[in-house]
A and B are shown apart, each in its own frame.
Chain A
Amino acid sequence: MRQTAGTLNRIWLAVLGILFVAAGAALLLQSNGTLHALLNTARFWESVVTGDLHAFFAQPWVAAFLLLIGVILAVLGLLWIIAQIPRKNTAGAYRLHDDGSQGFTLCDPSVLAAAVESRINALPGVVSSAVLLRGTASAPDLSLRVTVNDRADVQDVIHRIQTSTLRELSYALEAPLQRSQLQIEISGRSQSTGTVVHSTGTVVY
């Protein structure tokens, strides 16, 4: 249910990959003289550095420029690492009424999420659940992760959630749900709420 940076990662990995391949290929073509024949670059037996390196790096602007490059690289790297942390991205407070002359009505989505969780946990076969609300009050997104017992009737649980819980949430918000996502997990544990009857015995024919 948490959001990861899949698209971002693919884009940046592809960009870096293209840059590395292009730089490596250019270096190989330059070192065997092909690039000189194509683009009239330096001849392959010439030195890589033709000027005075010491004098070049002694200029103050070179240090400032490299400092800027270093800061940019470090910030990009740090942001990329931070982006790997999976995030909930829950909705802010739902504004049920936002007409200033008649007063404001705000609703914390976590309150609704707790109510939905409570309803789902009472369904037969459900071990636990986690609910996330995103979007807005008029176009809410609901994400559910429901863990059911491995003997539960999964279709029955889905049916009950869709025909009762989602309907109640929609009535409470007075708006249809924009999107409903349900992720089913399986557990060997028993239900922690409601009445669970374990039956064992011997069948005699």
Chain B
Amino acid sequence: MSRHGQRSSRLRHRPSRAVPSIIAGILLLAAGVGLVWLTITRLVNGTWPTLLQGPRDWLAALAWNDPVLRQIGVAAVVAGVVLLLCAIIPGGFNALTIDDSRSVEEAEAPPVQERETVMTRRAVARLAKARCLQIDGVGSAAATATTRRVHLSVETSLHEPGDLRTRIIEAVQTRLEETGLSPVPQVTATVRSRD
């Protein structure tokens, strides 16, 4: 269970699958603790706990073609497929790359062999929201960002929004381009008039 050492892993990464791993870890731990408790009880008292009597009788009378075994088999296959999907489905990146080469001339390039500059998706959403709120006519705004798309939900007090949506998209797109996001995510917006 050792992890990578004292070198940095990449800032832009996919989800670490912590939730399914914690659930699987807790189940493993529970199974291990249960087994240890049962065997220690057996070693101390000389007899197995009475709660095993029922499962033992059930197991002794069980045939291979019992429907319960088929159900257990199906459940195991389903659980295995779910675990495999958790491991295989890559998930989205947590951050967007920023092109930092255009801000640094060749002569004044920093003495760094490998550079990585990123902005988290949450930060991109905040940046887009902040730029959106600076536009005249915008009452409130909420933004969500993925690595390819930034979506803004805007409320305006204007009865006739007119070209507000276009202005928002252009302003936010320009701000993201100036920031150096590479590639620049596509900006979409929905504008709703307050009643």
Q: Which residues of B contact A (CB under 8 A)?
A: 1, 3-11, 13-18, 20-22, 24-36, 38-40, 42-43, 48, 56, 59-66, 69-70, 72-88, 95, 98, 100, 102-104, 108-120, 122-124, 126-127, 130-131, 178-180
Let me know if A192 is at the binding interface, CB within 8 A: no
Asked, given contacts A13-B83, A25-B77, A48-B64, whether A31 binds B16 with beta carbons under 8 Å apart, the answer is no
B120 near A183 with CB under 8 A, answer yes
B63 near A46 with CB under 8 A, answer yes
B111 near A177 with CB under 8 A, answer yes
B65 contacts across to A, CB distance below 8 A: 31-33, 44-45
B110 near A181 with CB under 8 A, answer no
B76 near A24 with CB under 8 A, answer yes
Partner of B130 from the list A4, A150, A182, A185 (CB cut-off 8 Å) is A150
Task: Tally chain A residues at the interface, Cβ within 8 Å.
Answer: 97
CA gap between A74 and B33 in the complex, in Å? 6
Taken residue by residue from 1 to 31, chain A's Cβ proximity to chain B (1 for < 8 Å, 0 otherwise) reads as 1011111111111101111111111111011
A179 near B116 with CB under 8 A, answer yes
CA gap between A91 and B5 in the complex, in Å? 10
Q: 18 A-B pairs, CB-CB below 8 angstroms?
A: A6-B9, A9-B87, A17-B80, A25-B73, A27-B76, A44-B65, A47-B64, A63-B39, A77-B32, A89-B4, A134-B6, A141-B6, A154-B178, A166-B112, A182-B11, A183-B11, A185-B119, A185-B122
